[in-house]
Homo-oligomer: A and B are copies of this chain.
Amino acid sequence: MRKVAIGQAGGPTAVINASLAGVVEGLYGKCTIFPVLNGYQGLVERKYTEMNEGYYRWILQNADVPGACLGSGRFHFTPELMEQAVLGLKEKDIRTLIFIGGNGTMAALKKLEQIAEHIGYELQIIGIPKTVDNDLGETDHAPGFGSAARYITLSVRNIVKDLEAMRNFEQVRIIETMGRNAGWLALSSGFLRRREEDGPHHIYVPEEPVSQESFLEQIEETVKTNGTAVVVVSEGFRFSGEQPTEREVVKGRKVLGGVSLRMERMIREQTGYHVRAENLGMNQRSASFAVSSQDRKEAYEVGLQAALYVKQKKSSIMVNIQRKPTKCYNYIIGSTTLERVARSGEKTLPRRYLENLTEYYHWLEPILGDRIEPYPAKWRAALNG
């Protein structure tokens, strides 16, 4: 039987294990599967053993568990280590390598392919898309994003209500979201906003820097007219002429974060409002209680499709989601080349969505899963109190 190694890389999501379950279910009994532990590090260190039936059942049991049940993580993958990784596969005669991940994972797969070619080892390579940030190109969207967006949308809807209730004590909340250099997640937070007085009142994304002066003016204006202001900011947002706020650098990777705390200080010092910054944290990528049913379904499907491509001998590809131009949501699971994914780079919000939020939310809606509704409009008596 063909030997297939499969691993998970990068930040976990609430549905990455559904993709793993999909590919494993599609291959089990037809190939010998080698689950790779701890992402690319495990690939280098040859942390893979043949999957038996118990292991198989355990992976299926974990399909709805957040995190990445094989271990994922980040790893500084040098060309030397890549060669070691390929040699490891060669030694065991593993002829297929599948990894679930985002931009970094796909770029590494591309390089592994070149190395295998270079040493004359025929290695089939397939990527399965995964990212909460949705910054992966050549796919309409990536599994993981829909659930994160759902969690953020619901959380912000709730926090708006919480702040409204506390309006005589607090005026401003700054909510920081994930997203790296793309504003997809932050912008999702406005999906349930229907009326001007509802929050979030301002959403700041990396694609549109704003000056410190405009920022403060916008907040003051909103507090004056509305009483409170709920602000959502993407971790990668930067004020005009500045760099994004960095939390720290770990193993050569910049970890963004902290812009909400900076905004908090600015508002406190410049306006005197009672303001509180809050980072939505790891629940964004692991909230089991706000998983999008559609996202969960698609995560499984891209995995299953990868298994199909193994049999079809397709290589150097990434499975993707292709939305059809129909009125109602319709898509096929297909593929693109790793070459094209690499060329497309980090996918940020297109201008048309930034200029037309309705269009963005129309695109977003089916990905969020089961219908979610805005809360009832404010009652005039309560509004004017």
Contacts and interface: CB of A to CB of B under 8 A. Distances in A.
A67 B281 contact: no
A283 B286 contact: no
A375 B164 contact: no
A72 interface: yes
A66 B379 contact: no
A329 interface: no
Contacts of A66: 158, 161-162
Nearest to A50: B381
A283 B283 contact: yes
A167 B283 contact: no
Interface string A160-179: 11111111111001000000
A283 B155 contact: yes
A65 B385 CA distance: 19
A132 B47 CA distance: 45
B166 A62 contact: no
A73 B38 contact: no
A88 to B, nearest CB: 15
Given A166-B74, A281-B278, A282-B159, A37 B250 contact: no
Contacts of A69: 161, 165, 379, 382
A169 B385 contact: no
Nearest to A376: B61
A165 B289 contact: no
B73 A162 contact: no
A385 B70 CA distance: 9
18 contacts: A8-B165, A12-B162, A12-B165, A42-B385, A58-B376, A58-B379, A65-B161, A67-B162, A72-B166, A73-B165, A74-B169, A157-B288, A162-B282, A278-B279, A278-B281, A279-B281, A280-B281, A289-B290
Interface of A: 8, 11-12, 14, 35, 37-39, 41-42, 47, 49, 54-55, 58, 61-62, 65-75, 151, 154-155, 157-170, 173, 250-251, 274, 278-283, 285-290, 375-376, 379, 381-382, 385
Closest 9 CB pairs of A and B: A37-B385, A67-B161, A68-B165, A73-B168, A67-B165, A158-B286, A278-B281, A12-B165, A74-B169
Given A155-B287, A173-B282, 11 more contacts: A14-B158, A37-B381, A39-B168, A66-B162, A67-B162, A68-B165, A69-B165, A73-B168, A73-B169, A158-B282, A158-B286
